[in-house]
Amino acid sequence: MVFAKERRVKLKSEIKSGFIKTLDFFLPRFCTGCDNKLSVEENFLCDSCFEDLEYLTDRQLFNYFDEFFPPGSPVNAFYSILPYDIYLPARKIVHALKYEGRVQFSKLIAKIIVSSKYFESYYSENSILIPIPLNKVKKIERGFNQTELICKEISKLTGIEVSSSVLLRNKFTDTQTKKTKEARILNLANAFTIADKKANIIQNREVIVFDDVITTGATINAAAAVLGKYSNEPVKALSFAVTL
């Protein structure tokens, strides 16, 4: 019986790889990093680009922690994986996901995060992942919230619980980019609320608030401030990348 089941699984994967082989013949897939043709086993990023990814160093992580989360910040731990800059793979991957709507790239991002050096020691059974919500207009325009997709993929790989209904984004009447830095921070301070009926989900839990890319830390600090009030535990921050 077990044998039969295994055989079926094997057959299924053979059919799948045969299918991909045929597809690759007519419609080759290319690596996001180097534009070389991908093999049947590879997805989005070729093995050599995956191995060559340049992770943020410990020193960079320390420095960014100090910069983004100075004393008084509600965030007490921070982890991020890749530098984000023009020509770097992290930017290409995030762009493909956010602006080309290639939602399957959320799997690649989750894989990179989960297989990174410190991730395994960054969460526990008491952790809950909270993606930064998009404002409603943006979510409708884009059709999805990329941080939510990535968190769900991380959860599939690790079993960490995810909730995207606890943290809500308040309505904005004007866009952030037109404001001065001070006005932006003030504006952000009121950007998030906790859904009353869902607040118990995070009570006494170690909240890990997730954003795809951190640029100034203002967004994630604003979110952590409201999350920390309800969780009664220190809040951790996690991102896929950090703007250089």
CA-nearest of 136, 143, 200, 191 to 166 is: 200
Nearest approach, Cβ of 33 to Zn ion (angstroms)? 4
What are the backbone angles phi and psi of residue 15, rounded to the nearest 5°?
-65, -45
Nearer to Zn ion, 36 or 165 (CB): 36
CB of 48 vs Zn ion, minimal distance in Å: 6
Told to check if 90 binds Zn ion by CB under 5 A, we report no
Q: How far are the Cα atoms of 37, 126, 133, 155, 174 from residue 143, in angstroms, in the given order? A: 29, 31, 13, 21, 21
> What are 87's two structure tokens?
């020509």
The minimum distance between CB 108 and Zn ion, in angstroms, equals 12
Minimum distance, C-beta of residue 52 to Zn ion, in the bound complex (Å): 8
Q: Choose which of 44, 49, 192, 239 interacts with Zn ion (CB under 5 A).
A: 49
Q: Could you tell me which of 6, 11, 88, 18 has the C-alpha nearest to residue 53?
A: 88
- Shortest distance, position 87 Cβ to Zn ion, whole Å: 14
Of residues 47 and 85, the one with the C-beta less far from Zn ion: 47
Rounded Cα distance, 14 and 40, in Å: 11
Stretch touching Zn ion by CB under 5 A, among 38-46, 72-80, 176-184, 233-241: 38-46
Query: Minimal distance in Å, beta carbon 110 to Zn ion?
Result: 19
- The piece of 47-55, 63-71, 82-90, 148-156 that touches Zn ion (CB under 5 A) is 47-55
Q: Is the dihedral of CA 75, 81, 83, 88 positive or negative?
A: negative
Q: Assess contact for 88 and 97: CB atoms under 8 A.
A: no
CA nearest to 131, candidates 112, 104, 109: 109
Q: Does 46 bind Zn ion (CB under 5 A)?
A: yes
Query: 39 vs 176, which CB is nearer to Zn ion?
Result: 39
Nearer to Zn ion, 51 or 182 (CB): 51
Chain residues 15-34 in contact with Zn ion, contact rule CB under 5 A: 31, 33-34
What does R_g of the chain's alpha carbons equal in angstroms? 20
Residues forming the site for Zn ion (CB under 5 A): 31, 33-34, 46, 49
